[in-house]
Amino acid sequence: MVRKSGQKNTGHISNLKNAGKLQRVGPDMKERESKMNKQYESLYQRSKDQDRIKVFAYFNFEKVNPSNGRKEFDPWLPYRPLSDLAQVDGEMWASFEKEEGDYKFPGDNLETLASYLNSTFMRLQEEGKILYSADNDRACFNTGLLDRRYHGDIYAFFGRNRNGSENQDWLFRQFATQSDSTRRKLLEGFAGLPEVAEYYNTENYHDLFFNLEYKTIIVSEHIVDDNTERLPHMLRNDPHVAYTVIKGAIDKLYAKIRRNYKLAVPHWHNGHIQLFLPLFLTNPTKPDLALLVERLDEQKCYLGKTILTLDMAYKAARLICRPDSDWLNYTMA
């Protein structure tokens, strides 16, 4: 969604700030605003060593095996209902990323969906769009995904975590669609509906498109030397040849982008838009890698930042929207 430059969010957080100017702030209000203003490192715990109080919510990853009654760990258990609600046109939400030649995750993983949800939460946090109930017992946000049946918004709901001060502030409860019969009850006590995350406006929308007047510069030391394992096998033993092939692929790409602007796929990183470009290194019709470029208007060029596998690029680009480009279509898996 596009918001005009300077337009403010008038959601629940803004309303509370205004209300605070009209009445004395008591202990409950102070605790409430403290949690609302708290900046979390992630939506869910990303590693065993991560401090829990810096994580927004606790997610249950254990399920009971009906055949033996034992608890089993499933790192994507909370996201499976969301996958069912939002899955459209064959999008699988799995990651097929490899590490040392082997798949990094099992075949039934939802790593791309989990990553998308975490990144969406972080953006919503920046924009002040996490909603809190009037009694500060519940929280919710807009996942940015649409219900596959009725095309309504899908929301994530949380309750207060009362299991000690050293744990996450919130507990994940459920996902619900805009058309869900329980949605109205779930949203009672919230001021308004959760808004979607936004990544472009009237000031930066031009970054969504590749400027053909700009040259593309790549730093060979990082692009080639630091990413040897991502290169096609035939290019791994000679950095000079690899650089030459990549540079030639970039030069040829301009003619293709001129005829299909969708080849440049937008990606959100550190508060601004970057682009993924396909690199056709060994096959003229099937890209081998994605080149991440950053626009530098003062120098009137794009700087090649790094190369990624297609799976890695898809997972990163999926944050803004599902890539509408054949070369980065997730059905490739």
35-59 residue pLDDT tens: 567 899 999 999 889 999 999 999 9
Task: Write the DSSP assignment of 274-330 as a string of letters.
Answer: EEEEEE-SS-SSS--EEEEEEEETTTTEEEEEEEE-HHHHHHHHTTTS----GGG-G
Q: What Å distances lie between residue 57 and 5, 176, 187, CA to CA?
A: 32, 17, 18
Is the confidence at residue 280, as pLDDT, over 90? yes
Our measurement of the distance from residue 20's CA atom to the centroid of its chain's CA atoms, rounded to an integer in Å, reads: 33
Share of the chain above pLDDT 90, in %: 63
Domains of the chain, residue spans: 2-198, 205-332
- State the Cα–Cα distance between residues 91 and 40, nearest whole angstrom: 29
> What pLDDT does 215 receive?
97
- State the Cα–Cα distance between residues 77 and 59, nearest whole angstrom: 9
- State the Cα–Cα distance between residues 62 and 101, nearest whole angstrom: 29
Q: What Å distances lie between residue 120 and 43, 117, 145, 197, 232, CA to CA?
A: 9, 5, 10, 7, 32
Instruction: Say how many CA atoms lie within 13 Å of 177 toward its Cβ.
Output: 17
Token pair belonging to 169: 């502030």
> What pLDDT does 179 receive?
78
Q: What is this structure's pTM?
A: 0.82
pLDDT digits (tens, 9 = 90+) for 84-124: 998 766 677 999 888 777 889 998 999 999 999 999 999 99
Of 160-164, 194-198, 275-279, the poorest mean pLDDT is in: 160-164
> What pLDDT does 219 receive?
81
- State the Cα–Cα distance between residues 259 and 257, nearest whole angstrom: 5
> What pLDDT does 317 receive?
93
> What pLDDT does 1 receive?
46
Termini Cα distance of the chain = 29
